[in-house]
Structure 1
Amino acid sequence: MNTAHFDEFLTAARAEPEPQRLLFVFGVAELPPGATPGQAKRHHEGRGGTLAPVMCVDKSLDELTSFAELARESEATGQPWDMVFAGALAGRDGAPPAAADVERALRGMIGAIHRGAIEKFLVLDRQGQLLRFS
Structure 2
Amino acid sequence: MTGKNVAARIVKLEARRPRSKEILLVWRQPDADVKGAASAAKFAPGDRVICLEWFGDGPLPAPKWYRERLSSELGSLENEYLTRSLERVRDDRPRDPGFAELPPVAANRARELTDNDLLHITFGVAT
TM-score above 0.5: no
Pick the structure with more helix per residue: 2
Pick the structure with more strand per residue: 1
Indicate the structure whose relative CO is greater, using CA pairs within 8 Å and at least 6 residues apart: 1
Q: TM-score, normalised by structure 1?
A: 0.30
